[in-house]
Amino acid sequence: MKFLLDHDVPEDLSYLLRQLGHKITLLRKALPANASDEAVLQFAYDQDSLLVTCNRDDFLHLARQWRRSRITAISR
Number of domains in the chain: 1
Handedness of CA 43, 25, 20, 16 (dihedral sign): negative
**pLDDT, mean of each 10-residue run, the chain (76 residues):** 92 94 96 92 90 82 70 60
d(C-alpha 29, C-alpha 57), whole Å: 23
Which pLDDT score, from 0 to 100, does residue 19 have?
Answer: 97
Which residue segment(s) compose the domain that 34 sits in?
2-73
Quick: pLDDT tens for 49-63: 988 988 877 777 777
Identify the pLDDT of residue 65: 76
pLDDT at 30: 96
